Amino acid sequence: MAELPRSRGPTRAPLAVLGAAPAFETPLLTGCPNILDPAETASLIRDAMARRRLTNEGPLVRRLEEQFAAFHGVQHAVAVANATLGLQLVAAALNVSGEVIVPSFTFIGTVHALSWIGLRPVFCDISVETHTLDAARVELAVTRETGAIVGVHLWGRPCDIDGIQRVAGAHGVPVLFDAAHATGSAWQGTRLGRFGRAEVFSLHATKSINGLEGGMVTTNDDELAERVRRLRNFGFSAEGRVVSRGINAKMDEFSAAMALTNLAAFDRLSAHNSAIREAYRHGLARLPGLRLSENPAGDVPSRHYAVVEVDEASPLRRDELCRVLVAERVTPRRYFRPGCHRSPPYASEAPRHPLPVTERLSQTLMQLPTGLQMTPDDATTMVAVLGHALEEAPRVRAALAATAP
């Protein structure tokens, strides 16, 4: 961002947007990957290279599947190339057809995955407290065309699993959960992974457990797990015969190496993120109109997501605060604006059901960095910057207007 003329008057607050030096020398990114044990990861990758077993259900992928299943207390964990393909494999394995009830407030990948295989998304609103599917609204969205309900454990927060399953049970439709954000998360004291017909986790580099790219389908259903395994590998059975259609959704050994070492250090990452979140929470509590979004139903163990709610009491809007942070070399994210229903190709059709909470949250939430790239003191500095910006709101707004993006 261009430096602003200091002739606007003395800068009381040290804000880059008002011409001061940025608060951070090194950029802080929301989504910066965590690599918890680079030496062990490199050693596993060297071993894989020495074995020349690089993919197609190698030993590291199998070990990861065992450890992921044990970690989540579920019988089957099937490693896949990414969660997008994982969602498609589960939907295909369950022969889902027709319409799929899904939140609009999610990463576009949830919806693309389903529509790519011919399913028609029906967007449903979320709860303002949890940011996950509102079961009462799901009930209103069910029709004879409904082929499945896909809940998203957004920010690692468990969906209203009971409520959604009750609706699904009453109408005889399967439930799957997009657990892309939810590695390590628990619902009423039990780790996610066993709920619905299957759950699909992401091990993308930006997730709490990073496997470069990757995903994991979990289920307690033996037959479903077997079908997903087959579909993941061109329809080959364990005996090496093609017994159905299939695709290539296999995970490679390097991804498994990275995910294994990160999974082993989950508690360390959790503790680190916990301290960062505490610094955010403590600082934000003193700022008007800003607060760290919490899961009302309890803790989310990965603590990977630091989502800030910016309401009407804030003298600056969410988008203005994001620009203030960018000037300080911090990259916040406005996940998940504008809502999938407003993105092509889905925007061409008006949503069938009202989405007021989705509309509001897509304009007011801001996600801040966490992870090993930073310390709790960095979080405190970031909150101080936000506080200065709010105090100087008229000057900040004028400065931003002068450099409109």
The residues of the shown chain that bind ligand T4K, judged by CB under 6 A, are: 29-33, 82-84, 106-107, 109-110, 152, 178, 180-181, 202, 204-206, 215, 331, 335
CB of 331 to ligand T4K, least distance (A): 5
State the minimum distance, in angstroms, from the CB of residue 112 to ligand T4K. 9
Residue 117 to residues 92, 98, 251, 362: CA-CA distances in angstroms?
A: 8, 11, 21, 27
Identity of the residue, 15 or 89, whose beta carbon is nearer to ligand T4K in the bound complex = 89
Q: Where are the beta strands (DSSP E) in 277-364?
A: 290-292, 306-310, 330-331
Nearer to ligand T4K, 32 or 260 (CB): 32
Residue linked to tokens 């079961």: 135
The distance of closest approach from Cβ of residue 5 to ligand T4K in the complex, given in angstroms and rounded to an integer, is: 30
Whether the CB-CB separation of 328 and 22 falls below 8 Å is answered with: yes
Least Å distance, CB 304 to ligand T4K, is 11
Q: Which two tokens stand for residue 256?
A: 């498994």
- Separation between Cα atoms, residue 29 and residue 196, nearest integer Å: 33
Using alpha carbons, select from 138, 145, 140, 139 the residue that is nearest to residue 103: 138
Nearest distance from C-beta of residue 102 to ligand T4K, angstroms: 10
> Which residues, at least 6 apart from 82, have a Cβ–Cβ distance to it below 8 Å?
202, 204, 213, 214, 215, 249
161: tokens are: 């699993």
Look at the block and give the residue holding tokens 């925007």. Answer: 347
Provide the residue count of the chain.
405
Q: Is the CB of 31 or the CB of 289 nearer to ligand T4K?
A: 31
Q: Is 333 exposed, middle or buried (0-12, 13-18, 19+ CB in 10 A)?
A: middle
Smallest gap from residue 246 Cβ to ligand T4K (A): 18
Shortest CA distance to 99 belongs to which of 152, 149, 146, 150? 146
Q: Left (φ > 0), alpha (ψ -120 to 50) or beta: where does 118 sit? A: left
**Of 358, 359, 376, the residue nearest 368 (C-alpha):** 376
Q: Which is nearer to ligand T4K, 217 or 383 (CB)?
A: 217
What minimum distance in Å lies between the beta carbon of 193 and ligand T4K? 15
Burial class (CB in 10 A: 0-12, 13-18, 19+), 241: exposed
Q: Residue 22 or residue 109: which is nearer to ligand T4K going by CB?
A: 109
335 vs 346 by CB, closer to ligand T4K: 335
* Cβ neighbours around 181 below 10 Å, total: 24
Minimum CB distance to ligand T4K smaller for 76 or for 181: 181
Residue nearest to ligand T4K (CB): 31
Helix (H, G, I), strand (E, B) or coil at 201: strand
The nearer residue to ligand T4K, 134 or 178, going by C-beta atoms, is 178
Cα–Cα dist 89/217, whole Å: 9
Residue 200 CB, nearest approach to ligand T4K (Å): 8
Cβ distance to ligand T4K smaller for residue 174 or 214: 214
CB of 162 to ligand T4K, least distance (A): 21
